[in-house]
Amino acid sequence: MAGHSKWANIRHRKGAQDKKRGKIFTKIIKEITISARLGGGEISSNPRLRKAVFNAKSNNLPSDKIQRAIKKGTGELEGVLYEEVTYEGYGPGGVAIMMDIITDNKNRSVAEIRHILSKYSGNLGENGSVSWMFDKRGLIILASASNDEDIVYEAIIDAGAEDFQLSEDIYLISTGKDNLMEVRDYLEDLGYDVKSAEIDMVPKATQKCNDKESDLNLKLLDALEDNEDVNKLYTNFEPN
């Protein structure tokens, strides 16, 4: 998990900064809305909505905003009609990038994504051009606090997780894509502080770059994540 963990750690810290600026709320609300539209408003029977609501609560999104987003998704309240689309592309040095987009205007979104990529020496690719480089896995971020690493290891193995790594003040836990929430529930029931639980696209191999390319990739990925239509961002980039 080395390269994956390094990038996941950067994303986690970026997410914390976004939360302070309120940007993360917009993306969470979009995810709740489209999850409810596609799978219904019942959390118990809609796994995607359940994950979205859990992450909303983990980020302290008020309950009334969560309920409003669900009702907009189910059509009980009037709201924007969002669509999903995935874009694939390359950053400097041949770094692979996948972007899950939630938007109310695909033409605007693709123009903005293309502009950002071009600005930092990247380019948009065809569908399927980089997706083969990734595997779909579950990713849980757990606050480390003062937990003993051996005790955490036993807990995540008992929970059914596959791998974990301590990265500064968080544990990055890898699960199968189908038992993500089962592992999350198990760890939460044990009293662990689960920061997020989501489906991730994990690179089969990471891509290293020279210093100039690495700097450009960090700026590129930061700019993409700042775009409100980019719901999830995946890359095989391994920061220096």
Give the pLDDT of the chain (240 residues) as one tens digit per residue: 444 556 666 665 666 555 555 678 888 999 999 999 999 999 999 989 999 998 898 888 899 999 999 999 999 999 888 999 999 999 999 999 999 999 999 999 999 999 999 999 999 999 999 999 999 999 898 887 656 778 888 888 898 888 888 777 788 888 998 899 899 999 989 888 888 888 889 899 989 899 999 999 999 998 998 898 999 999 999 887
Query: What's residue 79's pLDDT?
Result: 82
**Position 222 in a domain:** yes
What gap in Å lies between CA 167 and CA 149, rounded to an integer?
A: 11
**Position 64 in a domain:** yes
Q: Tell me which amino acid residue 62 is.
A: P
Query: What's residue 2's pLDDT?
Result: 43
**Quick check: 92 and 209 in contact, CB under 8 A?**
yes
The residues, ordered by sequence, that sit 6+ positions from 82 with a Cβ below 8 Å of its Cβ are 30, 33, 34, 37, 102, 103, 104
**Position 65 in a domain:** yes
Nearest in space to 162 (alpha carbons), one of 132, 143, 144, 136: 136
Total tally of structural domains belonging to the chain: 3
Written as six digits, the tokens of 164 are 């974990």
Query: What's residue 37's pLDDT?
Result: 93
User: 128 and 212 share a domain?
Assistant: yes
What gap in Å lies between CA 51 and CA 125, rounded to an integer?
A: 29
Range of the domain at 6: 2-74
CATH for 155: 3.30.70.980
User: 196 and 210 share a domain?
Assistant: no
User: 67 and 88 share a domain?
Assistant: no
**Position 240 in a domain:** no
**Quick check: 5 and 173 in contact, CB under 8 A?**
no
What gap in Å lies between CA 171 and CA 181, rounded to an integer?
A: 16
**Quick check: 171 and 144 in contact, CB under 8 A?**
yes
**Position 226 in a domain:** yes
**Quick check: 50 and 58 in contact, CB under 8 A?**
no
pTM attached to this predicted model: 0.83
**Position 12 in a domain:** yes
Query: What's residue 70's pLDDT?
Result: 96
Tally Cβ neighbours within 10 Å of residue 177. Answer: 12
Residue 166 vs residues 89, 95, 106, 163: alpha-carbon distances, Å: 30, 25, 38, 11
